[in-house]
Amino acid sequence: MIPEIDVQLAAIAKSLADNVMPAVDPSNPMAVEQLHLALATLGILRQRLPDLHAFLRRDLADNIALAKAIGGEGAVIVESERVFASPESSPQQIETQVRNLKEVITT
């Protein structure tokens, strides 16, 4: 298994381009277009991956501030601040807290 996500994405793109693309029927323009879109999407993911954690943390910070400003539920805010403060929080944990805060904000 390849541990680096960027390398994994590059390997997937190379496999699609080298092995799948030649096997796609060129008379099927929809299939060709979809494969090109998939390859382009993988490229965009690789470009944006380094910024993902910073983006998610900023989103969490903004939602914490908004929840505090409207007097949202304290327990959710406290847990969100704990997740925000921890350098070990995963992107999935951060996304979960953003969803929890949005529920508090919209109710």
pLDDT digit string, tens, across residues 28-50: 999 999 999 999 999 999 999 98
Q: CA–CA separation, 77 vs 63, rounded Å?
A: 9
Tell me, what's the pLDDT at 92?
94
Question: Is residue 1 scored above 60 in pLDDT?
Answer: no
Structure tokens that stand for 44 in this block = 């965009």
Structure tokens that stand for 46 in this block = 């690789």
Model pTM greater than 0.85? no
Count of beta carbons in the 10 Å neighbourhood of residue 38: 14
Question: Is residue 3 scored above 90 in pLDDT?
Answer: no
Question: Is residue 64 scored above 70 in pLDDT?
Answer: yes
Tell me, what's the pLDDT at 2?
54
> If you count DSSP H runs as helices and E runs as strands, how many of each does the chain have, helices first?
5, 0
Count of beta carbons in the 10 Å neighbourhood of residue 63: 23
Average the pLDDT over 36-65 and give the result.
94
